[in-house]
Structure 1
Amino acid sequence: MSELRAVALICSLKPSPAPSSTELLASQVLDQLAGHGVAVAPPIRLVDYDVKPGVDADMGDGDQWPEVRQAIRDADILVFATPTWLGHMSSVAQRALERLDAELSDTDAGGRPAMLGKVAVTAVVGNEDGAHKIIADVFQGLNDIGFTIAAQGGTYWNGEAMQGTDYKDLDGPPEPVAVTTANAARNATHLATALNSRQYPPY
């Protein structure tokens, strides 16, 4: 059986090298995955790329989505990480889902969409509420595209309401977050291993 691979798509609004709570939580998921023997690719902070709006695999005119797309296609596990803004996922995260929509029309000889058989987990941070709704929206979108959702595959941190502490300001992950992150990574690894050995049947 080939080695499992994972990549994190960081949908922060902050370009590198600005510190990012979103990237921090995603990196903690990746560390847990690595602990289960999963090969981890460098995380992709999407705002660092010129990703054009649209729903095609390549929008041309300098569009850098094809590079991001290839990294996702090369992985067995996608960690989709987004901050919370005004109670919703970031605009960068929404654009990523819109661009992934093109994968529905890219099918193999069995009629299966390109992303079928890949596993997805989410990581959401914010100093306001909204994480549960964001996870639900992200998972619905990724499931439509063909990703399989790991059991308890969403980890998140919401800061106390009406204050400005960020996840990256903490001394470390609170125990409930650490446990949830570990569970998501363990379940994702188990599911990806199963799908790697027995793919979905042809359409």
Structure 2
Amino acid sequence: MTESAAAAAAVPPRFDGLKAVFINATLKRSPEPSNTEGLVRLSGRIMQEHGVVVDVVRAVDHDIATGLWPDMTEHGEDVDDWPALFGKVLAADILVLAGPIWLGDNSSVMKRVIERLYGCSGSLNDAGQYAYYGRVAGCVITGNEDGVKHCAMNVLYSLQHLGFTVPPQADAGWIGPVGPGPSHLDPGSGGPENDFTNRNTTFMTYNLMHLAAMLRAAGGIPAYGNRRSEWDAGCAPDQVNPEHR
């Protein structure tokens, strides 16, 4: 590395203007302590120290209806808090889904959040792309049973499929002894001091900020070849849309 490159690398970057939203899919309602929130706080603190505006939402505190429409009150539900939460997602450059492991899988709350994200994924941005294009996403998983990587695979696959951009090392997790045992924030668990977990959470956080800043500077994902509006109009580049033959 050259001397100038080394000097530049030593300067902590700023990410002023970026916004991040963490959705905690714990089953515990506020103010009950959430072990997942331990990793949310670690990642969020790093972001805030570098100028990112951070919003944390505990999904279970909100009445999120079951369904795949953007607003389920238009489809028979009396209450649906999802439209307001979806507005927070669209206002953010970074989305981090955080949740616990139950029976080796993501929580029911996490699944509902992903379902509702999916239900809104067909809307388009100003460039005619799907709504989540130009935003980055990652996840953190906690538990005292096996399944961190399984849960992360499911979450990250879902997010990239919906249009989010996933950077390298976009997941982090903590897992205690398999079976009954201490959770992440329990006294003596070793969770907050775990070097592997703290390293992965830190790397994930910086990678999310770096990629979000790159996308913002570039004006998002280039729109050539991925506009739903062009495809529907029968003018997609380089291929024939079977619906308009």
The answer on whether the counterparts of 1:122 and 1:154 sit within 8 Å (CA) in structure 2 is yes
Cα shift readout 1:54-96 (whole Å, capped 9, x = no counterpart)? 1111101210001111111111111100100000000000001
- Matched residues, number: 202
1:62 aligns with 2:62: no
Q: 2:63 aligns with which of 50, 59, 62?
A: 50
TM-score by length of 2: 0.79
CA distance in 1, matches of 2:193, 2:57: 22
Matched-pair contact (CA < 8 Å) for 2:19–2:93 = yes
Residues 85-121 of structure 1, C-alpha deviations (whole Å, 9 max, x = no match): 0000000000011000123211024321111111111
In the alignment, the residues of structure 1 paired with residue 113 and residue 180 of structure 2 have an alpha-carbon distance, to the nearest angstrom, of: 29
Task: Select between 11-20 and 167-176 the one with higher mean Cα deviation.
Answer: 167-176
User: Pairwise mapping of residues 1-203 of structure 1 onto structure 2 (< 5 A)?
Assistant: 3-41=17-55, 43-60=56-73, 61-169=78-186, 170=189, 172-198=192-218, 199-202=220-223, 203=227
* Identity within the alignment, %: 35
Rounded to whole Å, the distance in 2 between the matches of 1:108 and 1:78 is 17
Partners of 1:173 and 1:146 in 2: CA distance: 34
TM-superposed deviation, 1:2: 6.7
Contact map agreement 1:36 1:189 (CA 8 A) in 2: no
TM-score, normalization by structure 1:
0.95
**Residues 103 and 115 of structure 1 are in contact (CA less than 8 Å); yes or no, is this contact kept in structure 2?**
no
Instruction: Encode CA deviations 1:18-38: one digit per residue, 9 max, x unaligned.
Output: 000011211211112222221
Structure in which a larger fraction of residues adopt strand: 1
Instruction: Kindly indicate whether structure 1 or structure 2 has the higher relative contact order, using CA contacts under 8 Å at least 6 residues apart.
Output: 1
Task: Report the Cα distance in structure 1 between the residues aligned to 2:63 and 2:32, rounded to whole angstroms.
Answer: 18
- Distance (whole Å) between structure 1 residues aligned to residue 118 and residue 90 of structure 2: 13
Q: Deviations over 1:131-157 (max 9, x none)?
A: 101100000111111111121010100
Determine the C-alpha separation between the residues in 1 that align with 2:135 and 2:126: 17
Larger Rg: 2
Corresponding letter in the other structure for 2:153: A
RMSD of aligned C-alpha atoms?
Answer: 1.4
- Structure 2 alignment gaps of length 5 or more: 1-14, 228-245
Q: Distance in 2 between matches of 1:16 and 1:90?
A: 17
Structure 1: tracts of 5 or more residues without a match: none
Quote the Cα distance in structure 1 between the aligned partners of 2:35 and 2:123.
34
The one-letter amino acid paired with 1:194 is M
> Which amino acid letter does the alignment assign opposite residue 81 of structure 2?
Q
- Consecutive aligned runs of 4 or more in structure 1 exceeding 6 Å deviation: none
Residues of 1 paired with 2:31 and 2:139: CA distance?
22
